Amino acid sequence: MSSENKFSTENIQPDAQGAAAAEEMEREAKAGNDITTYTHRFSGPFTFHSITKDAIKDTTVDTLTFNWGTLTGADYLEIEDEVLMHGKTLVVPAFTGLFLCGMAVRACTLRNEDGTRTLDARALKSMPIRDFQTVIQSARSFLQRAGSRPARTDSGSASST
C-alpha cells in the first residue's frame, strides 16, 4: 500500500472553539460552579430566520444565552412528546440530540418584542456544526451535572439507615 493511501492525522487541526468551550465547562465542573446558564459566542455573526406573529424576519446575533435552570418538568415532558412525534424513542435523554435541541430552544433567552421565542429548532439546527455541537454539549453537561449532585439529607433523599 502506498503512503498516499494511508490515513494521516498530521493535517487535522483541533476545533479551537469547541475545545475552549469544553475546557471552560470542565473548569466550571471542577470548581463546582453553577452551570445553569451558558452564553455561546459565535466566531462571526449568526443569522437565522425568526417567525414573529406578523412576519418572518432575519435575526443576527453574536451571542446566545441559554438558561437551563428555567426549564421545568413540563418542559421535559413537552420535549419528550415532540421527540416521540418524530418517531424517535428516548432511552437516555441526555444523549439524544433531538431532546437536547428541544432543551436549547426552550432555554434560549432571546425573545421577540412580544416575549415569544425567537430561536426555534429549525434555526438552532441551521447553526454551523461546531456551534451547534457546543450548545448541545452544554445542555448535556447540565443534565449530567444535575444527575450527579450529592443527596441532601434535608430532602428525604438520603438513606435512612
Segment 94-98 mean pLDDT: 88
- Nearest Cα residue to 124 out of 101, 97, 106, 143: 101
Number of alpha carbons in the 13 Å side-chain half-sphere of residue 15: 13
pTM: 0.70
Query: Facing residues of 59 across strands?
Result: 48
C-alpha cell at 115: 416575549
pLDDT digits (tens, 9 = 90+) for 15-42: 555 556 556 655 655 555 668 999 999 9
pLDDT digits (tens, 9 = 90+) for 51-77: 777 778 899 999 999 999 999 999 999
Coil vs helix vs strand at 130 = helix
Separation of CA 104 from chain center: 5
C-alpha cell at 26: 470542565
- The predicted structure's pLDDT at residue 1: 46
In the chain, what are the domain boundaries? 34-147
